[in-house]
C-alpha cells in the first residue's frame, strides 16, 4: 500500500485499500491517520468504511459460529462471485506445479458454534449468582476506581434528564467565575444556558441548534462545523467554539468527560467525605494543555450517577460540574421550539 502526504486528498480505491489494510492490521500510524482523516471528512469514505465494517463483523460472527467451513456451504447454483465482479483470484504457490489448495483441510473452529443468547443468558445467570453472593456478605465487594468509572459511564448513558451547574474560573482571577446550566438527556441531547440567558444552545438528538435573544434559531446537523459558521454571528462565540471543538472535551457533557478520563488518565480511589459517595482522583497521562491536569469525581454509591466533578488545569483555571436536579423534563425540552417559540429558523448547510 503506497503512502501519501496526509494533506493530499485520496480517491475511493486508496480509501478502500486503507480500510482493507486496517482490518488486516497492517496500517502504520501515518496510514491510520490518513484513514481517520478520510472517514471524518468524507461522507463517501465513512459510508464505505461502515459497510466494510459490517461485512467484517458478519464474517467474524459466521466464522465464530462455524458457518464458514466448506461442509456448511450451500451448493452454489449460480455464477461464481469471481466471475461476476472481478477476475479470479489466485493464491500464490511456492510450487507452481502443485495446486495451492490441494491438501487444504479445514481445522475445527477454535470456538464451538453456540448461540449468543445462550451465552448471554448463562452470563446473566452467573452475574445473578455473584450478586447474591455479594449481598449475603460471602464475597468481598470488588470496588475500585475502574468499576466506579464504569458504573458512572453506564449511569451517564441512561436516557434520564439531569441538570448540572457548570462553574468556570479563569487562571488569573479565581474570584471571577462564570456559570452555566446544562441539561443532559442521554443520546447526545443537551441544552446549555449561561446565567445571563443571552443565548441558548442545544442538541435534540438529530439537530444542533443555537439562538440568542434577538436573532433567529440556527439549526444544523453538522455539529462540529457550526462553530466556524456562526463564530462571527453571536456574541458568545467563545463558548460556542468550546462546545463544538474536539479539542475541548470538557464543555459538552459528563459522558465525554468520563470517556476522556478512561482513555487519558490514571485513576485512584480516594477517601470520600461521606459513605454515600465514591471519589476518584484522575491524573492525566497526556501532555495536551487543554486537558485538565487533575480531575476529582464524586459519584453516588447506589446509582453511579456523577454528583460533582472538579477539573483543574495546569495554568490554574478550574471547571466544576455539580448535579442540581434529576427530574423528567418535557418531551420537547431539547428541541429549539421550547426555547425559541415563534422565532425564524435558519438552517445552516455545511459541506464535507
Q: Which of residues 83-102 bind other proteins (CB under 8 A)?
A: 84-86, 88-95, 98, 100-101
| Residue 82 binding other proteins, by CB under 8 A | yes
Min dist. Cβ of residue 163 to other proteins (A)? 17
Q: Where in the chain does DSSP place strands (E)?
A: 162-169, 177-186, 189-194, 199-203, 208-212, 217-220, 265-270, 277-284, 294-300, 306-312, 318-326, 345-347
Of these, 44, 55, 196, 290, which contacts other proteins (CB under 8 A)? 55
Q: Give least dist CB 187 to other proteins, A.
A: 5
Q: Are 227 and 241 in contact (CB under 8 A)?
A: yes
User: Among 23-31, 135-143, 270-278, 336-344, which window interacts with other proteins (CB under 8 A)?
Assistant: 23-31
Is the Cβ of residue 55 or residue 195 nearer to other proteins in the bound state? 55
Q: Indicate the residue among 234 and 280 with the shorter CB distance to other proteins.
A: 280
CA 3: distance to chain centroid? Answer: 28
Nearest-approach distance from CB 253 to other proteins, in angstroms? 12
The answer to whether the CB of 349 falls within 8 A of the CB of 220 is yes
Q: CB neighbours (10 Å) of residue 254?
A: 23
Tell me the closest approach of the beta carbon of residue 10 to other proteins, in angstroms: 15
Select the span of 20-28, 191-199, 305-313, 314-322 touching other proteins (CB under 8 A): 20-28
Side-chain-side CA neighbours of 55 within 13 Å: the count stands at 9
Q: Which of 314, 253, 257 is nearest to 280 (CA)?
A: 257
For residues 163 to 202, the per-residue mask of contacts with other proteins, x marking binding by CB under 8 A and - elsewhere, is -----------------------xxx--------------
Residues 256 and 190: their CA atoms lie apart, in Å, by: 12
Distance of alpha carbon 185 from alpha carbon 159, whole angstroms: 5
Q: Which residues of 206-227 are buried (b: 16+ CB within 10 A; e: fewer)?
A: ebbbbbbeebebbbbeeeebbb
Round to whole Å and give the CA distance between 223 and 226: 6
Q: Does 352 bind other proteins (CB under 8 A)?
A: no
Rank residues 172 and 331 by Cβ distance to other proteins and give the closer one: 331
Contact mark string toward other proteins, 254..283, x via CB under 8 A:
-x---x--xx--------------------
Least distance from other proteins to the Cβ atom of residue 84, Å? 6
Amino acid at each position: 500500500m503506497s503512502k501519501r502526504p496526509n494533506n493530499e486528498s485520496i480517491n475511493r480505491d486508496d480509501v478502500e485499500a486503507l480500510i482493507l489494510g486496517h482490518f488486516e492490521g497492517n496500517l502504520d500510524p501515518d496510514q491510520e491517520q490518513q484513514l481517520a482523516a478520510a472517514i471524518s471528512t468524507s461522507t463517501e469514505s465513512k459510508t464505505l468504511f461502515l459497510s466494510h465494517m459490517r461485512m467484517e463483523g458478519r464474517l467474524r460472527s459466521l466464522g465464530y459460529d462455524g458457518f464458514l467451513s466448506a461442509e456448511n456451504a450451500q451448493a452454489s447454483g449460480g455464477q461464481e462471485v469471481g466471475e461476476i465482479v472481478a477476475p479470479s483470484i489466485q493464491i500464490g504457490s511456492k510450487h507452481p506445479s502443485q495446486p495451492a489448495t490441494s491438501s487444504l483441510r479445514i481445522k475445527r473452529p477454535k470456538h464451538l458454534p453456540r448461540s449468543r443468547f445462550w451465552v448471554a443468558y448463562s452470563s446473566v445467570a452467573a452475574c445473578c449468582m455473584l450478586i447474591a453472593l455479594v449481598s449475603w456478605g460471602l464475597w468481598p465487594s470488588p470496588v475500585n476506581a475502574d468499576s466506579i468509572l464504569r458504573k458512572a459511564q453506564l449511569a451517564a448513558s441512561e436516557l434520564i434528564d439531569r441538570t448540572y451547574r457548570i462553574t468556570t474560573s479563569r487562571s488569573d482571577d479565581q474570584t471571577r467565575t462564570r456559570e452555566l446550566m446544562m441539561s443532559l438527556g442521554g443520546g447526545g441531547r443537551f441544552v446549555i444556558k449561561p446565567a445571563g440567558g443571552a443565548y441558548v444552545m442545544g442538541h435534540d438528538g438529530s439537530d444542533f441548534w443555537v439562538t440568542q435573544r434577538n436573532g433567529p434559531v440556527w439549526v444544523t446537523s453538522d455539529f462540529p462545523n457550526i462553530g466556524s459558521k456562526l463564530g462571527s454571528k453571536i456574541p458568545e462565540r467563545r463558548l460556542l467554539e468550546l462546545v463544538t471543538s474536539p479539542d475541548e472535551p470538557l464543555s459538552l457533557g459528563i459522558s465525554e468527560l468520563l470517556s476522556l478520563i478512561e482513555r487519558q488518565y490514571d485513576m485512584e480511589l480516594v477517601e470520600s467525605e461521606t459513605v454515600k459517595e465514591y471519589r476518584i482522583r484522575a491524573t492525566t497521562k497526556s501532555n495536551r494543555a487543554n486537558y485538565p491536569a487533575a480531575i476529582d469525581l464524586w459519584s453516588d454509591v447506589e446509582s453511579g450517577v456523577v454528583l460533582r466533578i472538579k477539573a483543574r488545569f495546569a495554568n490554574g483555571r478550574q471547571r466544576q460540574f455539580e448535579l442540581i436536579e434529576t427530574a423528567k423534563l418535557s418531551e420537547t425540552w431539547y428541541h429549539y421550539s421550547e426555547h425559541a417559540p415563534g422565532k425564524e429558523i435558519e438552517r445552516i448547510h455545511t459541506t464535507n
